[in-house]
Amino acid sequence: MARFSEDAGKAQRFDVNLSILFTELPLLQRPAAAAAAGFTAVELWWPWIETPTPPQSELDALREALGEAGTRLVGLNFYAGQLPGPDRGALSVPGEESDRFRANIDVAADFAASVGCTALNALYGNRVEGVDPAAQDELALENLVLAARAADRIGATLLVEALNRPESPRYPLVSAPAAVEVVDKVNEATGLGNAAFLLDLYHLSMNGEDLEAVIDAYAAKSGHVQIADNPGRGAPGTGDLDLSALLLRLNERGYDGWVGLEYKPGDRPSADAFDWLPRELRAAD
């Protein structure tokens, strides 16, 4: 595996996505495993894929596990349906899924507030056969406005993410400009200015975008960054992306937020999937 640039490591603050790494362990054991690997910050997709409103006891147990491990939750998805799986969000899907997203908004925001999390990601949702895309977009904006207001209530940023067309062919936001356009619409609708772009270098590379140009254009509108190498969605150094150079470019363009490690560990335990990053660069304030 290629050695990751120490300068790039020093330029950013890293967190571990516990919904794609350490999944060989039960949810409540993952924060401690991340801490044992040297990380002090983590992020999560919505952990309860079957329900937007889990019992309070389960929320409390996750809060306790994060606290006991000494890990800070720095990013959390709103309810997004079966993820990983066929779903790619719920907020633009008419009917039950949209209702479930709305039921989740305050639950997710209140949990985020209770653990000091200040970034909430709202996946847009797939196109639905037989439904006018314009109607889905109208519903999406309504729900994103509600989510932005809930995020503002707790002092958080609302994130909007572009995915990639090969893996998510029915997801409409499959380019950086498409996602940023939605960010701008939400900010215009609310007047709050707390919506931002989630810049995922793996997804954008899968779309064939010029990553340097994306960083130059949208670093200032980015509220969170996620990385994985391509091809394979593995750790840095397992594919062809020069992630060191890209993270340095983000730093040079003024991005000083979190960089989420959202990659697959491959055929090894997750704890062994961080050899690209020196241990002294894993912990963050």
3-state class (DSSP) for residue 1: coil
* Given 43, 97, 161, 209, the catalytic residue: 161
> What's the confidence (pLDDT) of residue 101?
98
What pLDDT does 10 receive?
83
Report in angstroms the alpha-carbon separations of 106 from 103, 110, 150: 7, 6, 6
Percent of the chain at pLDDT > 70 equals 99
Q: What's the pLDDT score for residue 1?
A: 46
Q: Is the pLDDT of residue 206 over 80?
A: yes
At residue 66, the pLDDT reads 98
pLDDT above 90 coverage of the chain, percent = 94
> Looking at residue 4, what DSSP letter applies?
P
Q: What is the pLDDT of residues 32-74, one digit of tens each?
A: 999 999 999 999 999 999 999 999 999 999 999 999 999 999 9
- Indicate the pLDDT class of residue 11, thresholds 50, 70 and 90: confident
CA dist., res. 101 & res. 12, Å (int): 32
Q: What is the pLDDT of residues 242-278, one digit of tens each?
A: 999 999 999 999 999 999 999 999 999 999 999 999 9
Q: Which of 43, 97, 209, 262 is catalytic?
A: 262
Place of tokens 């060989």: 24
Active site residue 262: yes
The string of pLDDT tens digits covering residues 94-142 is 999 999 999 999 999 999 999 999 999 999 999 999 999 999 999 999 9
Task: Please determine, for residue 147, whether its predicted confidence score (pLDDT) is greater than 70.
Answer: yes
- Tell me whether residue 118 is exposed, middle or buried, using C-beta atoms within 10 angstroms of its C-beta: 0 to 12, 13 to 18, 19 or more: buried
Q: Cα–Cα distance between 130 and 149 in angstroms, integer? A: 30
DSSP string for 196-263: EEEEEHHHHHHTT--HHHHHHHHGGGEEEEEE--TTTS-STTSSS--HHHHHHHHHHTT--SEEEE--
Contact criterion met (CB below 8 Å) for 43 and 260: yes
Name, in order, each residue with C-beta under 8 angstroms of 174's C-beta and a sequence gap of 6 or more.
162, 163, 164, 165, 168, 203, 207
**Confidence bin at 284 (pLDDT 50/70/90):** confident
Higher pLDDT, 8 or 243: 243
Q: Pick 6-276's CATH classification: 3.55.40.20, 3.90.550.10, 3.40.190.10, 3.20.20.150.
A: 3.20.20.150
pTM confidence score: 0.97
Mean pLDDT across the chain: 96
pLDDT category of residue 221 using cuts at 50, 70 and 90: very high
Spatial separation of the C-alpha atoms in residues 219 and 213, rounded to whole Å: 10
Q: Is 161 a catalytic residue?
A: yes
